[in-house]
């Protein structure tokens, strides 16, 4: 491992879309001992960022960045959340955050929304449940986001 790698994270690159997986490499990294089944030994990362390739002419026609949140977003995965936000911001494109697979969120997740909004790109939230909407409403961040029900 090099000095710039984060322990417990993985990254994959696929074409034509670049997909960056940021999060625990194994179920054990995230929650303790691994189950005995190999199929159950991999927990999905809490944050997945998909960046479509740039247009060859200019970025005006480039697609949105898709940030998928899954499972629980709390203080234990904040490094993955920050890394996902950095990847999305670096694309300089509108961002859609897919929250349909999100099961729990605490105030630690606010860093993702704050960082994305500071980038100046439009941010859309897809499938936000009442807990997330309530958190965003209490902080006033909801007024800066566009919501789409799933």
- 86 by DSSP, 3-state: which? helix
Most confident of 7-21, 24-38, 44-58, 93-107: 93-107
Residue 18 lies in a domain: no
Q: Is the pLDDT of residue 51 over 50?
A: yes
pLDDT of residue 62: 65
- Roughly what angle, to the nearest 10 degrees, separates helices 78-90 and 110-118? 20
Residue 11 lies in a domain: no
Residue 5 lies in a domain: no
Q: Which residues pair with 148 in a beta bridge?
A: 126
Region 53-76 average pLDDT: 78
Residue 13 lies in a domain: no
Where does the pLDDT of residue 42 fall: very low under 50, low under 70, confident under 90, or very high at 90 and above? low
Q: What is the CATH number of the domain that holds 128?
A: 3.30.750.24
Mean pLDDT of the chain: 77
Please tell me the total count of domains within the chain.
1
**Ramachandran sector of residue 140 (left: φ over 0; alpha: ψ -120 to 50; beta: rest):** left
What SS3 string covers 28-80?
HHHHCCCCCCCHHHCCCCCEEEEECCCCCCCHHHCCCEEEEEEEEECHHHHHH
- 20 by DSSP, 3-state: which? strand
pLDDT of residue 39: 46
| pTM tops 0.75 | no
Region 32-53 average pLDDT: 64
* Euclidean distance between CA atoms 41 and 33, whole angstroms: 9
Give the rounded percent of residues in the chain with a pLDDT score beyond 90: 55
Phi, psi of 69 (to 5 degrees): -105, 135
Residue 10 lies in a domain: no
Residue 79 lies in a domain: yes
Condensed to tens digits (0 to 9), the pLDDT of residues 76-96 reads 998 999 999 999 999 999 999
Residue 33 lies in a domain: no
The residue range of the domain holding 73 is 44-148
On the question of a cis peptide bond just before residue 34, with omega within 30 degrees of 0, the verdict is no
Residue 70 lies in a domain: yes
Answer yes or no: are the C-beta atoms of 65 and 88 closer than 8 Å. Answer: yes
């Amino acid at each position: 491992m090099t000095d710039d790698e984060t322990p417990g994270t993985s990254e994959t690159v696929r074409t034509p879309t670049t997909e960056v997986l940021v999060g625990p490499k194994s179920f054990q990294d995230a929650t303790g001992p691994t189950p005995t089944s190999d199929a159950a030994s991999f927990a999905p990362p809490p944050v997945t960022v998909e960046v479509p390739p740039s247009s060859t002419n200019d970025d005006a026609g480039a697609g949105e960045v898709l940030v998928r949140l899954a499972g629980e977003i709390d203080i234990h995965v904040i490094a993955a959340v920050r890394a996902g936000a950095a990847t999305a911001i670096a694309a300089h494109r509108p961002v859609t955050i897919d929250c349909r697979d999100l099961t729990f969120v605490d105030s630690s997740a606010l860093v993702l929304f704050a960082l994305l909004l500071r980038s100046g790109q439009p941010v859309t939230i897809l499938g936000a449940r009442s807990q997330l909407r309530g958190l965003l409403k209490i902080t006033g961040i909801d007024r800066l986001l566009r919501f789409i029900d799933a």
